[in-house]
């Protein structure tokens, strides 16, 4: 059969349109095969005759009728690739036959809605999820209420504890109603009764429900990164490191903290990083002594201050975590350099412990030992064993889909990615010589655990004090970026 010329033209134009639309989007998202493999790996960890239940993240309100930019629950995204709210995933240990279909997983998603999509963007819907994410059995969320699944036949129903930040909207298939329906189907409210009328049903329900172990199973999967994950994580880290370099070159004492924050985040957007992995921390002088200082409201950094910059780009869900501390005028004072070099030495000791088989706390222990000795040598504390709060936090955490990624806090394994981030913070009024007051230094790098030596993934951003000073002498593309003055 021959196609008519106008049909040939129509099909060609349609193909070109579809191809060009796909090319407009990033081409390096995680694949549906990745997410399917993660579900398979989870299934191997689940206990016999069990079902794991995952809910999407809640839509959270910012103010009045404005919501925060939606961010999917990391576990939900890890297992599905689905980025929309008001959804539910069931993963079964064994094959199930329900309504004539045999399967081991089912996904409930937002229904297509032409009017809603005009306001908030296109939804995948059932067909889109099947085509793009590789799920075979998919329903609209509203179908969950009438879905004929008997949860009482499972030995274990695993899910995370419910949070209290889910709003009830006019949508009868929103997250609030999905959770409400799920609770009804598993008789969840029964286990909260003080005097149940049927002890047998009460005891069986309480034994069946498990809100403890699913988080550990997910940590087992997520703490060791796959090759696909490492590609995205390395890109997020490199983007963050470049942000640090550009800020070193652009730094001027008359800048504000929020302006410095903006330089970093502009670099992130320039490289296509969708978000920051966490609120940016940019603290000048004594503000650097506040560990999670996110106001960034100091209008002038000042001529003789250190500025601590703890920021990380989030690229396709994966977040870096890189901290550098630099002198605002490009030159460390004697006291600043002594503290900085001590933190650098402590970080080197911590990184050296980031090896397969070492316990999670070995990096912190090594860094703390160096810092305690150094502080004693400088006379800031009386002895290495003196109690102090100048290094009040651990030096290590995992990174990935969360900046503090899931982990079981066991021994280091190949392809884990951790931070090593010692710091010294001497706030004004501390019980030491005033010359140390207001000095805050943290150096944080993202480290890949390998079979051999640890790899500093964020090493593009200089760490040594003398190299930082050299970088800060280089010209910046922002040197001549001047905006009109405002009243």
pLDDT at 51 over 80: yes
Closest listed residue to residue 323, CA positions, set 425, 254, 173, 197: 425
Let me know: does 163 contact 58? Beta carbons within 8 Å: yes
pLDDT at 194: 59
Using alpha carbons, list the distances in angstroms from residue 206 to 157, 161, 217, 223.
10, 14, 21, 30
Using alpha carbons, list the distances in angstroms from residue 134 to 80, 126, 287.
9, 11, 48
Name the percent of the chain in helix, strand, coil, to the closest 5: 40, 15, 45
Let me know: does 117 contact 144? Beta carbons within 8 Å: no
Alpha helices in 353-384 (DSSP H): 362-377
Distance CA 368, CA 373 (A): 9
Q: How confident is the model at residue 176 (pLDDT cuts 50, 70, 90)?
A: very high
Q: How confident is the model at residue 201 (pLDDT cuts 50, 70, 90)?
A: confident
More confident: 150 or 15? 150
Query: Is the pTM higher than 0.85?
Result: yes
More confident: 189 or 463? 463
Residue pLDDT, tens place only, 267-279? 999 999 999 999 9
Distance CA 452, CA 448 (A): 10
Using alpha carbons, list the distances in angstroms from residue 52 to 75, 154, 227, 332.
12, 10, 25, 54
Distance CA 172, CA 177 (A): 6
pLDDT at 11 over 60: no
Residue pLDDT, tens place only, 107-151? 999 999 999 999 999 999 999 999 999 999 999 999 999 999 999
Non-local CB neighbours of 65 within 8 Å, separated by 6+ positions: none
Let me know: does 61 contact 68? Beta carbons within 8 Å: yes
Let me know: does 187 contact 205? Beta carbons within 8 Å: yes
Closest listed residue to residue 145, CA positions, set 176, 116, 182: 182
pLDDT at 31 over 70: yes
pLDDT at 24 over 70: yes
Q: How confident is the model at residue 163 (pLDDT cuts 50, 70, 90)?
A: confident
pLDDT at 198: 65
pLDDT at 20: 44
Q: What is the mean pLDDT of the chain?
A: 93
pLDDT at 15: 46
Q: Which two tokens stand for residue 127?
A: 């067909």
Residue pLDDT, tens place only, 293-302? 999 999 999 9
Q: Return the bridge partners of 456, or none.
A: 447
pLDDT at 357: 98
Closest listed residue to residue 241, CA positions, set 468, 465, 397, 398: 468
Q: How confident is the model at residue 282 (pLDDT cuts 50, 70, 90)?
A: very high
Q: How confident is the model at residue 16 (pLDDT cuts 50, 70, 90)?
A: very low
What b/e sequence results for 450-483 when a residue is b if at least 16 CB atoms lie within 10 Å of its CB, and e otherwise? eeeebebbbeebbbebeebbebbeeebebeeeee
Distance CA 372, CA 370 (A): 6
């Amino acid at each position: 059969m021959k196609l008519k010329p106008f049909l040939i033209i129509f099909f060609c134009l349609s193909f070109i349109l579809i191809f060009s639309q796909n090319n407009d989007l990033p081409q390096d998202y995680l694949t549906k095969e990745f997410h399917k493999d993660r579900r398979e790996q989870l299934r191997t960890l689940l206990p016999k005759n069990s079902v794991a239940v995952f809910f999407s993240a809640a839509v959270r309100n910012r103010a009045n009728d404005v919501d925060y930019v939606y961010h999917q629950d990391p576990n939900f995204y890890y297992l599905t690739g689905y980025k929309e709210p008001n959804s539910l995933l069931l993963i079964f240990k064994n094959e199930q036959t329900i309504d004539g279909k045999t399967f081991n997983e089912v996904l409930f998603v937002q229904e297509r809605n032409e009017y809603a999509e005009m306001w908030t963007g296109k939804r995948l819907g059932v067909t889109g999820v099947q085509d793009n994410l590789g799920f075979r059995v998919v329903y609209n969320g509203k179908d969950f209420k009438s879905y004929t699944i008997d949860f009482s036949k499972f030995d274990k129903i695993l899910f995370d504890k419910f949070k209290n930040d889910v709003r009830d909207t006019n949508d009868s298939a929103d997250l609030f109603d999905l959770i409400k329906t799920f609770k009804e189907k598993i008789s969840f409210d029964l286990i909260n009764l003080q005097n149940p009328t049927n002890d047998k049903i009460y005891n069986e329900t309480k034994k069946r429900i498990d809100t403890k172990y699913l988080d550990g199973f997910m940590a087992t999967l997520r703490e060791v990164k796959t090759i696909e994950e490492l590609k995205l994580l390395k890109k997020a880290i490199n983007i963050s490191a470049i942000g640090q370099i550009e800020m070193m070159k652009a730094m001027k004492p008359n800048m504000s903290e929020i302006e410095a924050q903006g330089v970093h985040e502009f670099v992130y957007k320039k490289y296509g990083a969708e978000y920051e992995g966490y609120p940016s921390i940019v603290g000048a002088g004594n503000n650097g002594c506040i560990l999670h200082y996110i106001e960034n409201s100091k209008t002038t950094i000042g001529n003789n201050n250190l500025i601590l910059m703890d920021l990380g780009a989030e690229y396709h869900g994966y977040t870096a975590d890189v901290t550098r501390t630099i002198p605002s005028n490009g030159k460390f004072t004697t006291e600043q350099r002594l503290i900085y070099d001590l933190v650098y030495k402590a970080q080197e000791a911590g990184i050296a412990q980031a090896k397969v088989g070492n316990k999670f706390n070995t990096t912190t222990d090594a860094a703390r030992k160096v810092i305690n000795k150094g502080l004693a040598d400088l006379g800031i504390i009386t002895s290495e064993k003196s109690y102090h709060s100048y290094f009040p936090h651990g030096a290590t955490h995992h990174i990935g889909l969360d900046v503090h990624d899931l982990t079981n806090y066991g021994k280091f394994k190949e392809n884990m990615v951790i931070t090593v981030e010692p710091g010294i913070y001497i706030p004004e009024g501390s019980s030491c010589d005033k010359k140390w007051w207001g000095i805050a230094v943290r150096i944080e790098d993202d480290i890949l655990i390998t079979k051999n030596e640890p790899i500093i993934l964020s090493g593009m951003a200089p760490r040594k004090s003398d190299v930082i000073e050299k970088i800060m002498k280089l010209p910046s593309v922002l040197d001549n970026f001047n905006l009109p003055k405002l009243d």
